[in-house]
Amino acid sequence: MRYRLEWLGMRLAAALVPLLPQSFWIALARVVGSTAFVVDRRARCVAIGNLEAAFGERFSEDERRKIARESFQHFSRTMLELLWSPRLNSQNISRYIDMVNADEIKRLGSAGHFIMAVYHYSNWEWLGAACAYNLMPGTIISQEFKNSLLDPIFKDLRERVGHKFVPRHRGVIRMYKALKRNEPAAMLVDLTLPPRDGAVMIDCFGLKTSVAAAHGWLHKQTGAPIFPAHAEPLPGGRYRVVFHPAIRDAQEKSEQEIAQMCWDGFQPYVERNPAPWLWMYKHWRYKPSKTDCAYPFYAQTLPRFDRMISAPECVVEPED
């Protein structure tokens, strides 16, 4: 019954949200995000714990709470603007989104043969829309909902711009086939993966975590250049999409080194403006059994994680 009610509420929202101006939803997102910050105690504790682990004493307790609240607001705005996104099209997209450093991706990926490594920072959903309208649509791995009734609603919203969203199961193989057809592929690369799921170890704010290695694997199999990218909020309800330089000499680097280089190029942006990142997500689910670092309260030890630390370049290839 709960899943049915969630489905009905989301269907109504998808129909109603595009009828009102974006400015209304920006204001509502502040209210929704602030309310979620107060009501969702578990996510609030995760966000504040993450900030303390990442920044130590740089921020006071009040400052960490303020950043966490703003993170909830950014996420709420991203979701509401995804529902509003049917209002976007190739003619008006430039009114809402600037694109920075797109020349290199147009030059090196001129045949449509490139991999985009994206982060949960600000409005990553509209980043995808901007790329579809200004570059070309691609194949993207998506995270399924616990309530599978919601998947078709979000898939339809995201594929309106021309992208093809595929589930995680066999998703990397589908991306590989798209790249071989000279089509772009994209994935979110700041999610924690269990050590057994094709993950590699990286240092993230000085803490060990295991993240996806698929973009490195795909590059080695296809030669497609890897472009990290993120979105940033601008005044007036607009966004800036920033394309980072392509990962250099990636063929000579391991999947672990590629993943670390992608993160190292992104972390300074989070350090300068932390609020737009998804702090309520458990970015450090695992921790070493022996460490002097202060990991978040939810982090757990795992023997496989310790073995991964001792051999950080090991990676499980995607299933056939």
Mean pLDDT of the chain: 93
- Amino acid 220 reads K
Cα–Cα–Cα angle for 217, 218, 223, rounded to 5 degrees = 110
In a domain, 79, yes or no: no
Residue 318 scores a pLDDT above 60: no
In a domain, 125, yes or no: yes
Rounded distance between C-alpha atoms, residue 251 and residue 220, angstroms:
6
pLDDT of residue 228: 96
pLDDT of residue 110: 58
Alpha helices in the chain (DSSP H): 2-16, 22-39, 41-55, 61-84, 93-96, 102-108, 124-134, 151-159, 171-180, 214-222, 255-272, 303-310
In a domain, 166, yes or no: yes
pLDDT of residue 313: 59
Number of domains in the chain: 1
In a domain, 53, yes or no: no
Residue 264 scores a pLDDT above 60: yes
In a domain, 126, yes or no: yes
- Domain hosting 248: range is 96-310
pLDDT of residue 320: 46
Return the structure tokens found at 241. 């999409």
Unique residue bearing structure tokens 């704010």? 205
Query: In which band, very low, low, confident or very high, does the pLDDT at 102 lie, cut at 50, 70 and 90?
Result: confident
Q: Using an 8 Å Cβ cutoff, are 58 and 271 in contact?
A: no
**Global confidence as pTM:** 0.93
Rounded distance between C-alpha atoms, residue 191 and residue 138, angstroms:
20
In a domain, 195, yes or no: yes
For 8, 88, 113, 202, the CA distances from 312, given in Å and listed in that order, are: 45, 42, 28, 8
In a domain, 254, yes or no: yes
Unique residue bearing structure tokens 């022996």? 290
In a domain, 320, yes or no: no
Pairing outcome for strands 300-301 and 286-287: parallel
Rounded distance between C-alpha atoms, residue 287 and residue 303, angstroms:
10
